[in-house]
Amino acid sequence: MKIALLTLLLLAAFFQTTHAQTSQLRFGVRIGGSVSFLTGDVGLQDGKPAPGLGFYAGGHMTIPMAEEWSLQPEVLFVVESGKMIEEVTLTADNGKTSKGDGILRHKVTALRMPILARWSNGSFKAGHVGIVAGPVCNYILSVWSNYSRESVSHTSSDITERDLTSKSQQFQFGITAGVEYYITDEFLVDIRGIHSFTNHLKEPYSGLLSTLTLGAGYRF
């Protein structure tokens, strides 16, 4: 509730300042990759989180608020995946057993809408640094679960895939923070951490993805 209220307040500030600041608006695009870790009660007794890869792409708007401060709403299309690994016993066709890994993967596709406060040590110029932080809302489009068993030789068997979209919570809330660096006046690179406070699945299921992104952007 507190996060939702904060998001509404930031949106109110956004609409209030848009009319007055229209001539100073800056637009841009962002694209990059991500590494996510899955936690929660996902049905594995001794599962350990392991990194999963993803990507994102979208656009943003920068609204000047003060000399070094601005408001930056974004809309991003994101695909994130995380996995958990447990130790299992595999039985071959000849009856022999061996140790292997049971790997559960969650793949979440969503629209991400951060409302960020941005501080910079100067205008948008080469060599300048910016810091962003703020709440994040995710609108989930789909959730897929994949479970496989792999031997030491990475041979997969017993692959099971499930569509969990109907069991997902469509809206997720979290927080993000990061740093960006301008290589030129228009081109930047950035790194961000994103943590979700709400599960991407409804009870009795649970699942959280914590994500680190590395990407690039261009301001027009």
42-76, pLDDT tens digit by residue? 777 777 889 999 999 999 999 998 888 999 999 99
As given in the structure block, the two tokens for residue 103 are: 């790997």
Q: 113 in helix, strand or coil?
A: strand
Q: What are the beta bridge partners of residue 100?
A: 88
Number of domains in the chain: 1
Nearest one of 81, 133, 72, 147 to 110, comparing CA atoms: 81
Return the minimum-mean-pLDDT range out of 22-26, 27-31, 42-46, 78-82: 22-26
pLDDT over 60 at 2, yes or no: no
pLDDT over 50 at 18, yes or no: no
Question: Which region holds residue 134: left if phi is over 0, alpha if psi is between -120 and 50, else beta?
Answer: left
The pLDDT value given to residue 152: 64
157 or 74, which is more confident = 74
What are the φ and ψ backbone dihedral angles of 198, each rounded to 5 degrees?
A: -120, 150
Residue at token pair 């979209």: 165
The pLDDT value given to residue 13: 53
Report percent pLDDT > 70 for the chain. Answer: 84
Nearest one of 198, 196, 179 to 188, comparing CA atoms: 179
Nearest one of 24, 96, 30 to 65, comparing CA atoms: 24
What are the pLDDT digits (tens) for 177-193? 999 999 999 999 999 99
Residue at token pair 């929660």: 40
Q: Which domain holds residue 56?
A: 2-219
Residue at token pair 């109907």: 166
**Residue 152, domain CATH:** 2.40.160.20
Beta carbons of 133 and 177 less than 8 angstroms apart? yes
Mean pLDDT (the chain, rounded): 85
- Mean pLDDT on 109-115: 97
Residue at token pair 């699945």: 201
